[in-house]
Amino acid sequence: MREIISELSKKLHSGEVSSVELTSEYIKAVEEANPKYNAIVHTTFEAALEHAEAADEMLKEGNADTLCGIPMVMKDNICTDGLLTTCCSNVLKGFKPYYDATVWEKLKEKGAVLLGKANMDEFAMGSTSESSCYGAPFNPRNTGHVTGGSSGGAAAAVTANMAAYALGSDTGGSVRQPAAYCGIVGLKPTYGSVSRYGLIAYGSSLDQIGPLTYSVKDAAIVFDAIKGFDRRDQTSKAFDYGNILDYLDRDIKGVKIGIAEEFFDGIDPDMKTQIFDAVKLFEKNGAEIVDIKLPALKSALPVYYIIACAEASSNLGRYDGIRYGHRTGSYDSIDDMIYKTRSEGFGAEVKRRIMLGTYVLSSGYYDAYYKKACVIREEIRREFDETYEKCDILIAPIAPTTAPVLNFKGLSSVEMYLSDICTVPINIAGIPSISVPCGIDKKGLPIGMQIMGKRFDDAKVLNMAYFYEQNSKDWAGNFEGGVRI
């Protein structure tokens, strides 16, 4: 099992390698591999070397953090002061925020090194990263397949060893699903545990920043670094997790694993087999299996699309060509300017969701759609709460299939939305969930398993995932290419 962060950190702390040397290696790796995977859309090498120099100073002084000096990438929707942050949208091309997102502020303080901004679905809307204005990233496990989305570039960069870890954002599965498609680990923490300040909003009540890493321990290290209350985000919560890393090795004896049939409806049979094999491994080691009913899950997808699109339609109103980003070349009036700017700036998927969101919030439809969705959302949350009285964690697939092929035009929007069926309920409930590799399908593509816990039980979720990872085959395996230190 490659625990990249721990391995690199040891080398940096022992002086075997300096952060500048390491960063240079990663820069080389990005230069070589990125044309192949299109994972990183803006490189920040100059800044990276500056960060590395600062990290080397911190390392020399001693007491540096585990993440000090380690190169990483961030999804292109997390704001970085003076560095491009475009949400992979034409409407924000050239946009350089003048402030840092809280997560980046925290990482910078610890000596993190930013190599660049990762490719993604435009404004994080999509399940394949194909809606990026810079073109889709390619899955390093098989470049004919998608990376998944919307944090596809982040997943590809980590998978191909172009970065030690990445930060993505997960609104309806956007960290977990690409992690599963690429065969790495993706954590969506409890809503409110990581500050959203500086994350360019898609669906505000669902968005959550989370790490994409090669191993569970790496995920725990990154989560530990970015979590915590932020006075700039009113939805963030002060929760004392204690030492998360100490939690990883805990015994899993007596842990009640809930299996809800609803999660397995219409799932690829091979995938189902692999996941149940994993469950058996837990059972063999003392976990108990509990059958769970989650009937409200069937409403999760429409509820998700109504709420996410409603919030998106409001969040994206500010992209009008007036203050930043793209402005159309010629126009007759201010209305015409805004109309043309948005027509040119937004891609089809974003426009579709803005229109859908505008529709469900309009008077006359609000009660029928948005309000009803909010009511059902509460029902889903309640159902999860009740479920966690019967079990400690839930296990489910991440997606109905492994990574689909690129440019597969056979899928309608609705069919594409259906691929989110296993991940969106978690965002609706605001609970933590992790995606861990648990097999390879016949095409050689990675299969992901989803482990979910109750709100603020992130440590337990990591504990279970860690146990599985340590006691199963190394599904992630070693990727040929990229930095090998």
Partner 1 sequence: MSYEVVCGIETHIELNTDTKIFCNCTTAFGGDPNTHCCPVCTGQPGSLPVLNKKVVEYAVRAGLAVNCKVNTISHMDRKNYVYPDLPKAYQISQYDEPLCENGYIILDSGKRIGITRIHIEEDAGKLIHEDGYTYIDYNRGGVPLIEIVSEPDISSPEEAKEYAEKLQLIMRYVGISDCKMQEGSMRCDVNVSLRKFGSNEFGTRTETKNINSLNFIQKAMYAEIERQTDILDAGGTITQDTMRYDDVTDTISPMREKENSDDYRYFPDPDIIRFEVPQAKIDEIKASLPELPFDKLKRYIDGLELPEMTAKHMYRYRKVCEFFEEALKLGAGVKNASNLITGTIYATLDTEEDKENFEIKVSPSQFAELVKLLDEKKINFKMAQTTLQEMLVSGNPASNYIKAEDMEGVSDDEITKFCQEAIDANPKAVEDIKSGKDKAINVMFGYIMKQTKGKADVKKAEAIIRDLISKM
Residues found near partner 1 in the complex (CB under 8 A) = 77-79, 85, 87, 92, 95, 97-99, 101, 196-201, 203-205, 231-235, 310-311, 313-314, 317-318, 320, 322-324, 334, 338, 358, 361-363, 366, 370
**Closest distance to partner 1 from the beta carbon of 428 (Å):** 13
**Closest distance to partner 1 from the beta carbon of 323 (Å):** 6
Alpha carbons 416 and 297: distance in angstroms, whole number: 18
Alpha carbons 420 and 452: distance in angstroms, whole number: 15
Alpha carbons 124 and 427: distance in angstroms, whole number: 14
Length of the chain: 485
- Token pair of 375 as six digits: 């009511």
Q: Is the peptide bond preceding residue 150 cis, with omega within 30 degrees of 0?
A: yes
Beta carbon nearer to partner 1, 63 or 363: 363
Beta carbon nearer to partner 1, 231 or 484: 231
DSSP letters, 161-211, are TSSSEEEEE-SSSTTHHHHHHHTSEEEEPPTTSB--TTBPPSSTTT--EEE
- Token pair of 431 as six digits: 């609970």
Alpha carbons 438 and 407: distance in angstroms, whole number: 26
Task: Centre a 10 Å sphere on the Cβ of residue 94 and count the other Cβ atoms it contains.
Answer: 10
**Closest distance to partner 1 from the beta carbon of 220 (Å):** 26
Alpha carbons 411 and 409: distance in angstroms, whole number: 5
User: Of residues 89, 127, 174, 435, which has the active-site annotation?
Assistant: 174
Beta carbon nearer to partner 1, 58 or 101: 101
Beta carbon nearer to partner 1, 98 or 329: 98
418-433: burial string, b at 16+ Cβ within 10 Å, e else:
ebbbbbbbbbbbbbbb
Are 219 and 8 in contact by the 8 Å Cβ rule? The answer is no
131 in catalytic set = no
**Closest distance to partner 1 from the beta carbon of 69 (Å):** 26
**Closest distance to partner 1 from the beta carbon of 204 (Å):** 4
User: Of residues 9, 127, 129, 150, which has the active-site annotation?
Assistant: 150
**Closest distance to partner 1 from the beta carbon of 107 (Å):** 16
User: Of residues 75, 188, 217, 454, which has the active-site annotation?
Assistant: 75
Of 117, 244, 128, 248, the C-alpha closest to 190 is 244
Looking at the annotation, which residues are catalytic?
A: 75, 150, 174
